Amino acid sequence: MTGALYVIGVGPGDPELLTLKAVRLLKEAPCICVPKGREEGSSLALSIVEKAVDLKGKEIIEAHFPMRKTKLQGHAEELDAKWQGTVDVVSKKLLSGVNMVFITIGDPTFYSTFFYLYDKLLELIPLLNIEFVPGISSINASASRAKLCLALADEKIAVLPATYTDGIRETLEKFDTVVLMKVHRVFFLVRELLGDMGLLDKAHYIVRAGMADERIFDDLRTVKEEDLNYFSLIVVKK
Amino acid sequence: MTGALYVIGVGPGDPELLTLKAVRLLKEAPCICVPKGREEGSSLALSIVEKAVDLKGKEIIEAHFPMRKTKLQGHAEELDAKWQGTVDVVSKKLLSGVNMVFITIGDPTFYSTFFYLYDKLLELIPLLNIEFVPGISSINASASRAKLCLALADEKIAVLPATYTDGIRETLEKFDTVVLMKVHRVFFLVRELLGDMGLLDKAHYIVRAGMADERIFDDLRTVKEEDLNYFSLIVVKK
């Protein structure tokens, strides 16, 4: 029997935002696959889980996922090799009958790198026994921390990464709520645009929602270079 | 001392999708305020919580929230009266020093009626001690159950209620992923539009994600009138 693979969202950082199901599956799993942003760094997802579940005696497999590069930026081959290494290890385990958990920050369906692996795993194990367990996404966590209503009744929400995406202005014009992800590298450009559009008083900048060093800016004018962080987003609520 | 108000998302239906924080606060709270869709009906949010937490000895306050009417549809006065009744009860409790939990299906910041009450509560208690606790939203739960990636890398997501909103076609053209909420009343119109746009093979219909009677349709052509449900959405992933 091939083992089951549970892809679990562990939420944005606060270990109390793990679901009961995530905790149960983590306790039951003999083997946990853990993504790491850099090879030398530690896994944020693992550090969240460790605070809620005793991992003693479990096998931990680390998988290197470079966060700052994507296929679009011309590192496709290098990335494919990294992912293939993880696919090989995970598929071998599953085929030997071991159940596994793959943990991912936030929610697994929402900008999670696991999906880069999914197709490759299906190639090797067409009848893959896989279950996705949703987690609290950064958007929901950030809105809660900032006491913001993302949408009510007939309102429309757009979510877009600010780094690569054109058309931010048009989206801001047409949607009631716009969530700008991955905003830390273009923060000051976005702030200028929001100022031009008269939306600066409608914008909130939430940094590391639910983590110990969380910060919430209800006035973007007060944000400085040193306040910017990879784990941050802007919510514009008109 | 005024009591604290915790507004807690209890997730989409599976009691195992409650967070550890939600369970802890529910256990600690002497008084729970529970929304009900219809006065005669039972509360779905309460039925989820009851399966995970022993509520014996706790005071349960029921609040009537008509789900099918909104301010836009000309029932503003009737609704305001209903909400004001709940506001009066909740504010009286809080002012007497009792801590309260208000439970809401899914996530409190995401199409949750609690925000209709929020401003009124702030009017009565300007220094309201309130905390929002995020829950698994229907979108994340549905995507997990259907094994769908909502977005990766630079992809853009739009979320819009299909009932009132114009411009669905334009949104489908411009976004990588479109989530159509509240789709049950216009399902066949939406299906026709998706057919016209050649997107029928990119669409998934998820009904009651995470509940015992969940259904997932990866081919919208097979959906019949009797399959439609209030708790359902369409994900179009191009």
Higher pLDDT, B56 or B78: B56
A174 and A126 share one domain:
no
Asked if residue B148 has pLDDT above 90, the reply is yes
| Residue linked to tokens 């994600």 | B209
Asked if residue B204 has pLDDT above 70, the reply is yes
Query: Of the candidates B74, B103, B133, which is a domain's last residue?
Result: B133
Query: Of the candidates B133, B157, B179, which is a domain's last residue?
Result: B133
Beta bridge partners of B60: B32
Provide the CATH number for the domain around residue B203: 3.30.950.10
B154/A136 CB distance under 8 A: no
Q: Is B214 on the interface with A (CB under 8 A)?
A: no
Residues of A in contact with B160 (CB under 8 A): 156-157
Provide the CATH number for the domain around residue A18: 3.40.1010.10
B204 and B172 share one domain:
yes
A167/B174 CB distance under 8 A: yes
- Tally of domains in chain A: 2
A87 and A145 share one domain:
no
A96 and A205 share one domain:
no
Q: What is the pTM of this model?
A: 0.93
Q: Which of A143, A195, A149 is nearest to A169 (CA)?
A: A195
- Chain A window 163-202: which residues touch B at a Cβ cutoff of 8 Å? 163-165, 167, 171, 174-175
In total, the C-beta contacts within 8 angstroms joining chain A to chain B are 175
Query: Of the candidates B133, B155, B173, which is a domain's last residue?
Result: B133
* pLDDT given at position A84: 84
* pLDDT given at position B165: 59
* pLDDT given at position B15: 97
A149 and A98 share one domain:
no
User: Where residue B38 falls among pLDDT bands split at 50, 70, 90?
Assistant: low
Read off the tokens for B77.
Answer: 């006065």
Asked if residue B39 has pLDDT above 70, the reply is no
Work out the average pLDDT over B96-105: 96
Asked if residue B82 has pLDDT above 80, the reply is no
Higher pLDDT, A41 or B187: B187
A127 and A143 share one domain:
no
Q: Which of A153, A158, A135, A175 is nearest to A233 (CA)?
A: A158
* pLDDT given at position A39: 54
B175/A155 CB distance under 8 A: no
* pLDDT given at position B35: 83
A112 and A144 share one domain:
no
Closest in B72, B150, B171 to A110, CB measured: B150
B124 and B176 share one domain:
no
Read off the tokens for B174.
Answer: 């411009």
- The ipTM estimated for the assembled molecules is 0.93
Asked if residue B101 has pLDDT above 60, the reply is yes
Q: How far is B182 from B230, CA to CA, in rounded Å? A: 7
Residues of chain A with pLDDT under 50: 68-69
Distances from the Cα of A238 to the Cα of A204, A215, B108, angstroms: 11, 22, 18
User: Where residue B36 falls among pLDDT bands split at 50, 70, 90?
Assistant: confident
A12 and A129 share one domain:
yes
* pLDDT given at position B221: 98
A206: domain range?
138-237
A140/B9 CB distance under 8 A: yes
Q: How far is A166 from A161, CA to CA, in rounded Å? A: 10
A187 and A75 share one domain:
no
A154 and A116 share one domain:
no
Work out the average pLDDT over B104-132: 93
